[in-house]
Structure formats: C-alpha cells, structure tokens
Amino acid sequence: MSDECKTCSRDDCPAKSQKPGESAEEYKARQALTARMCQIRHKLVVLSGKGGVGKSTVSVNLAAALARAGRKVGLLDVDIHGPSIPRLLDLEGRNVEGTDHSLFPLKVSDRLSVMSIGLLLRGANDAVIWRGPMKYNAIQQFLRDVEWGELDYLIVDCPPGTGDEPLAVVQLIGDADAAVVVTTPQDLSVADVRRSIAFCRRLELPVLGVIENMSGFTCPSCGQRVDIFGVGGGEKLAAEAGVSFLGAIPIDVEVMRSGERGQPIVDSKPDSETAKAFQRVIEAITAREEKDA
C-alpha cells in the first residue's frame, strides 16, 4: 500500500500537511496510518474496567456475528500481556506472514481476519516485558501495517483498565471511532466501568454503549434462572452515564466450551439464546451505520 491516502477526498484530512515540529519520517508514518484507517468504515474499541469480565469473548463473538451479518471485519488484539484471541479462535501456533512494512492478518473466514500480538510470540506461554513506549510503537505498527484491505468494522480488543495500550489505540486510531464497554453486573465491576467511561470522555472518544456480560444463568436441566452476579448493573450504569445499553449476555457454559474449542458461540450454536443475545447487540451496533454514512 502506498504511503499516501488515495481514497480520501477530504480537504481537511489530517494527513495532508506536515505538523509543525514533525520530522519527515514521522509525517510519512502518520500518513501511512491515516491511509490505513481511511479504509475502515467503523472502528470499535472494546474496553473493560477489569480483567475476567469476558471482554475478549465478547470481542470475538461481536466480530464473528458482524461477519455473519455480511460485514467485512478485522479483529485486532492489542492485549500485549494476555493475548487470548488466538486461543479463542483456535489460531495458536499459526504463522503470520509479513514484509518490512506489512503484516498479513489470518483469515478465519471470508469476512473475518485476525491479528494478535499472540500470533507473533514464539510460544503461547511467552511473556512480554515492555515499557510504555515499546507498547506504543507496537500498537502503532499494528494499526498502520496490517493489510486488512477495506473493512466495514475493525474491532480492537484492548487489555482491561485505562493504561498504556487503550490510550495508544485511542490516540492513534483517528476520529471516526467509538468504544464498547464490557462489564459484569455486580457493583464492583460497574464501579470500574465508570472509570472506563471517564477515560473515554477525557479522550473525547464517543461511547457506543455498555454490554453486560455474565448476566444471569438459566439452569440447562431445570430451566430456573439464577442471577449469580446480580443483574442490571450494566444497564443502570449506562443510564446513569447517559450512554446506550447494547444488551445483556447470559452466563452460558457453552460460551466457555466454545471458547475452549476455538469457536465463537455465534458460529457453533447460532440458534442458542446466547447467540441471539449477541445478535441483538449487533443489531444495536449496525443500526447506527446509516446515521454514520
């Protein structure tokens, strides 16, 4: 791909002129990043206040459900210290090809491609010990060099919290993007999400909405519903923060089993109640496409 953006006709495109104090090399890198981002219609940054709430599981299922709905989707895992997307899509051990300025994502299906820091590590158990600037550079390279082609959606799975990686993603990705915040229903998790929303607001990143994961459990034997982590915390928080509530995903052992097998539940059990819950979230997300066009 050329360094110059050929698709953009915007006179106010930020890559059209060099910024004061910017070196020629920095300018070239920024142009290349802008050109890449211009090929992607919607960029969704998936955040959570803390780990273990199912953020990566939700990212994978959102990406797969969007692809099933006919969208061309890229899934980028920037969880440098705990990349779980390769495991959730059975891609561990697969080789990523690249050249000096290009990385080729792995194709999961005709409409879904994936790139993860985990695919570049030698082994699934390798630990990355990087300081902030190294993380920033790696994320910049990921956003700039991955050859997605044209995409309807790029889903970026960030590590939990409001640290270096989400900050780098939001700073680098450009203007036409939004955050999806994943939480579990209990108060402790909801309190962390307030920080994620405050983070987005400080960075002027619109919040597309909140998803409540692990929201209630229906016993597969007796059909009785048990609200293990409570229920409704995400919806309450969304209302309180003035952002949309995108939907609730139940606790479902099949979500965990599908993840272990490397297949999202929206593909392995598309008719299940849980897959339908993801489907409703996708409808809420795609409903805004016309508004954004």
Specify the stretch interacting with ligand ADP by CB under 6 A; choose among 3-11, 137-145, 226-234, 254-262.
Answer: 254-262
Whether 205 and 178 have beta carbons less than 8 Å apart is answered as yes
> What is d(CA 191, CA 183) in angstroms, rounded to the nearest whole number?
10
Q: Which residues of 80-119 are buried (b: 16+ CB within 10 A; e: fewer)?
A: beebbbbbbbebbeeeeeeeeeebebbebeebbbbbbbbb
Residues in the chain, total: 293
Question: Per CB under 6 A, does 55 bind ligand ADP?
Answer: yes
DSSP letter for each residue of 180-235: EEEE-SSHHHHHHHHHHHHHHHHTT--EEEEEEEEEEEE-TTT--EE-TT-SSHHH
- Residue 196 CB, nearest distance to ligand ADP (Å)? 12
Give the pair of three-digit tokens for residue 204.
């002027």
> What is d(CA 26, CA 156) in angstroms, rounded to the nearest whole number?
23
Sign of CA dihedral 38, 39, 42, 43: negative
Q: Phi-psi region for residue 223, left (φ > 0), alpha (ψ -120 to 50) or beta?
A: left
Specify the stretch interacting with ligand ADP by CB under 6 A; choose among 30-38, 69-77, 235-243, 253-261.
Answer: 253-261
Question: Per CB under 6 A, does 54 bind ligand ADP?
Answer: yes
The nearer residue to ligand ADP, 52 or 132, going by C-beta atoms, is 52
Question: Per CB under 6 A, does 188 bind ligand ADP?
Answer: no
Specify the stretch interacting with ligand ADP by CB under 6 A; choose among 37-45, 51-59, 202-210, 233-241.
Answer: 51-59
State which of residues 256, 276, 287, 289 lies at the interface with ligand ADP (CB under 6 A). 256
Question: Per CB under 6 A, does 249 bind ligand ADP?
Answer: yes
> What is d(CA 274, CA 266) in angstroms, rounded to the nearest whole number?
8
CA dihedral 232, 233, 234, 236 (to 10 degrees): 80
State which of residues 31, 56, 113, 196 lies at the interface with ligand ADP (CB under 6 A). 56
- Residue 259 CB, nearest distance to ligand ADP (Å)? 4
The nearer residue to ligand ADP, 115 or 255, going by C-beta atoms, is 255
- DSSP symbol at 108: E
Residues 189-248 that bind ligand ADP (CB under 6 A): 213-214
> What is d(CA 231, CA 248) in angstroms, rounded to the nearest whole number?
9
Query: How many chain residues interact with ligand ADP (CB under 6 A)?
Result: 17
- DSSP symbol at 18: P
State which of residues 32, 40, 53, 143 lies at the interface with ligand ADP (CB under 6 A). 53
Angstrom distances, CA of residue 246 to CA of 28, 40, 265: 38, 22, 18
- Residue 158 CB, nearest distance to ligand ADP (Å)? 10
- Residue 262 CB, nearest distance to ligand ADP (Å)? 11
- Residue 277 CB, nearest distance to ligand ADP (Å)? 9
The nearer residue to ligand ADP, 15 or 88, going by C-beta atoms, is 88
Question: Per CB under 6 A, does 48 bind ligand ADP?
Answer: yes
State which of residues 84, 116, 140, 263 lies at the interface with ligand ADP (CB under 6 A). 84
State which of residues 105, 247, 259, 264 lies at the interface with ligand ADP (CB under 6 A). 259
State the residues that interact with ligand ADP by CB under 6 A.
48, 51-57, 84, 213-214, 249, 251-252, 255-256, 259
